[in-house]
Chain A
Amino acid sequence: CVQESQKDEL
């Protein structure tokens, strides 16, 4: 999912 993939970074 485009929106979520960056939220797994710190």
Chain B
Amino acid sequence: MNTLAQERRKAEFDVESMKVVWAGSMEQLHLSQRMAHLVANDPVFRKDFRVTQSRPDLFKNTLRKAAHAWKLVQTLRLTEEEATKMRNYIDEPAYTDLHWGMFIPSIKGQGTEVQQQKWLPLAYKQAILGCYAQTELGHGSNVQGLETTATFDPSTDEFIMNTPVLTATKWWPGALGKVATHAVVYARLLTDGKDYGVHAFIVQIRSLEDHQPLPGVIVGDIGVKFGNGGYNTMDNGFLRFNNVRFPRDQMLMRLASVTKEGKYVQSDVPRQLGYGAMVYVRKSIVMDASNYLSRAVTIATRYSAVRRQFGAQGDKPEIQVIDYMTQQSRLFPLLATAYAYRFLGVWMAWLYSDVMARLEKNDFSTLPEVHACTAGLKSITTSTTSDAIEECRKLCGGHGYLCASGLPELYAGYVPACTYEGDNVVLLLQVARFLMKT
């Protein structure tokens, strides 16, 4: 009997029941297993050669996978939940993450009924592919500092979008570089001689006929990123505007609008409704943390049981490294953390539903706390997880440095979480501000 089979005989609890706890329910477990099986057995989704591919080959292969996945969604008539799970098991950052995870939710959250009716059907059938262009070369976490401008021209009933300075160049948005035809762009709204601050606009950036950038649009990929694989499968992009005109009704107008005459009008819909999307994204990030951490811990735990070092006596083999207290003291807290984050994610899913139900009733009482604590939880879970993946690599000794261990790619794919959706230290200061106010 091999080592891991022997280890499994030692278990003092029912593993199948624990799988249900981890998955959330029996239905979720079966769903996960079906989708995992579907992906693992389809040669198009093969990923074992990813780290040896050149960036252009890697990216093209991601496009192939995304197109194949879309075909499967349609031919197998997968539900939204099944499709989301399948994307998770394909395990490769792709433009679809931004299209479904940011572009569509932005339109839902910030578009009027009319705008949703116009844009969502196109987005749902991927007749347009969208991204979320907020971050600029000179401004990340500080959204109020964005410099891109959208100036209303009442004579043509259009906005004119411009990138007035180099630091206003949109920089980092996933799917922007090579794939997106449309972007939700955040820009300062200038009308009636006044600056009304940052608002969201839907801007077409590429032709739907030949995919060429539209006149006045300068767009491209920002270059190779950290590690083999990782986010190199994603076309994080840059974008500049030179007097790009688009119709007035492409300002997302649920929270505020501009009239034909150029008057700025605040809608009755409370601005706080926009925070729901942020809570949703952060909830997903925490769930991701437990997922990535559990993968690293699985690798380190199994290999720590297989690997033997020192201590051989007589005919007896060397000692399993998992039996050393030094290994246990580094590994088992991470195992516990993976479970802790799982339960935290479940709670955050409840928190999201609760806050959305309250927002619908114009009850904003819990919003400051939810906003602050989800920021802080995103911060500590992503920082801990990225450190933990690196710790798991070290727990595997020298072999952990091999890409065959799976850990370098896991790390490269995860660490951006510490700086996207808000830098982790800046986010903790938001929590501190809430605590001080309390």
Decide whether A and B are members of one complex.
no
